[in-house]
Amino acid sequence: MKIIALVLLSIAICVTGCNKLTLKQKLDAYFNALEGRLMCSVIVQQGGKTIYQRSLGYADVEKQITADSLTRYHIGSITKTFTAVCALKAAQEGLLSLNDPLSKFFPEAQIANKEIITVDHLLSHRSGIHDIYSDEESDFNTLNTKPQTREQLIDRIVNAGSDFAPDSASVYSNSGYVLLTFILEKVYQKSYPEIINSIIIKPLSLTNTRYSTPIDPSSGDAYSYSDTALVTSESIGRRLSLPDSAKMLSKWSLIYQTDPSWPLGAGALISTPADLARFGSAIADGFFGKEITRQMREFNGEFGRGLFDYQQGCYGHGGTIDAFTSSLMIDDSTVVAVCCNTLSMSSPMAKDISRAVYDAAKGGKIEPPSYQSITLTPEQLDPLTGSYKFTNGTEQQILNFVTDGKTLYLKAGIIKVEMYAITPTQFEIKLGNVFVTFDTPNKKIIILQDGMSIEGVKVE
């Protein structure tokens, strides 16, 4: 029986030396530990070749539409990297200068310091313009599903004022990239989606990347979900409170979609990890021009132009919108892209996953996430003990579960392995990254490993 053999084999391998695991085995173990706790897709490429790809969970929980490598996710602020490429391309084509002041493009708007703030300040988050999207008092937190006009957004930015003198500090501002969207539309005389399509999407054949439209899981889009009553965001929007912005669906709560007229070029694109990896490789390879790549990677502190400096030659961008989180990490040989459609206070976000996966791809260690265990009483443990029979065709195998009154153990032959309680009925075997769920009313057990599950019944 394959999964039972894998359970025991994984334990044996880790006992004899986990350092012998291949990268795929390490990454599989990592994502096995996340199975059921978040939903995401990931891709790892080295030298232009995909060396790892995996999807967890659903694009649509209610209709049980599973996610795969073609599932599209909202990528939030990674959109800014696309916007930065277009702005630098416009400068290269002479349609604007990075030193142009905002007053050139917004002569009537009373934007604070508009005679001093330049296009370059917007690109590198040094404008001082207050970020209306990360302000807890902003209307965005209650009106994010309602369309906004250009005039409404500019008025909000004007009324929010300035946080510091231009070029005196670096503070992340979504508002600056919204203004960049309007500047690009003015100099190109096209809509933002048309600009992105002509400069990036079509030349790179990013067939699963587009400007946000209403989510449709039947055509490959993913909904986003949260398992907590408060979703905090680092990019577009500070918080969403349930149930006003959510529909309850068992464990997960469906988060309603932000209207794209709010984030625009700061966070309104949809993509897949594979498309993001292609885009990241294009930046690293100088596809848009080596000078543009150089300008993007000209870091002042942590910020470049549309990129973050992740140190040691690695750079990229992350994104959060609604309950989507995403991350793109790039160096000269390796690209890691992660898109999640769940946000949970008890599970890592895309940026944490991509960092762990990137480090592993570069030869480092990766530790599967470990969830805090709880202590159960003997009265809770005793009903779980006993022998469970697993059947596959004519093949059968028995696993035994025993307790010392404090801990539950898996016992198979001479192997006895400690199990860690996550809930009163769900346990983790950390050595093999195995998850075991007891269905005591029906006298059944489910073992999950390597994306496979098998059900056993209690032997009376």
CB 438 within 8 A of CB 428: no
pLDDT digits (tens, 9 = 90+) for 103-131: 999 999 999 999 999 999 999 999 999 99
User: Would you state the pLDDT for residue 18?
Assistant: 41
Cα separation, 459 vs 446, in Å, equals 14
What band does 435 get if pLDDT is binned at 50, 70 and 90?
confident
User: Would you state the pLDDT for residue 228?
Assistant: 55
Mean pLDDT of the chain: 87
The pTM (predicted TM-score) of the whole model is: 0.80
CB 317 within 8 A of CB 298: no
pLDDT digits (tens, 9 = 90+) for 355-406: 999 999 999 988 777 666 788 999 999 999 999 988 876 777 888 999 999 9
pLDDT digits (tens, 9 = 90+) for 73-82: 999 999 999 9
For the chain, list the domains and their CATH numbers. 1-37+369-460 (2.40.128.50), 73-361 (3.40.710.10)
A 10 A CB-CB count for 218 gives 9
Q: How many Cα atoms sit within 13 Å of 392 on the Cβ side?
A: 10
115 in helix, strand or coil?
coil
pLDDT digits (tens, 9 = 90+) for 253-272: 888 899 999 999 999 999 99
Cα separation, 201 vs 287, in Å, equals 13
User: DSSP letter at 323?
Assistant: T
203 in helix, strand or coil?
helix
User: Would you state the pLDDT for residue 112?
Assistant: 96
CB 316 within 8 A of CB 308: yes
pLDDT more than 90, % of the chain: 65
Q: How many Cα atoms sit within 13 Å of 336 on the Cβ side?
A: 20
CB 388 within 8 A of CB 401: yes
The C-alpha angle 228, 229, 230, rounded to 5 degrees, equals: 95
User: Would you state the pLDDT for residue 285?
Assistant: 97
What band does 217 get if pLDDT is binned at 50, 70 and 90?
very high
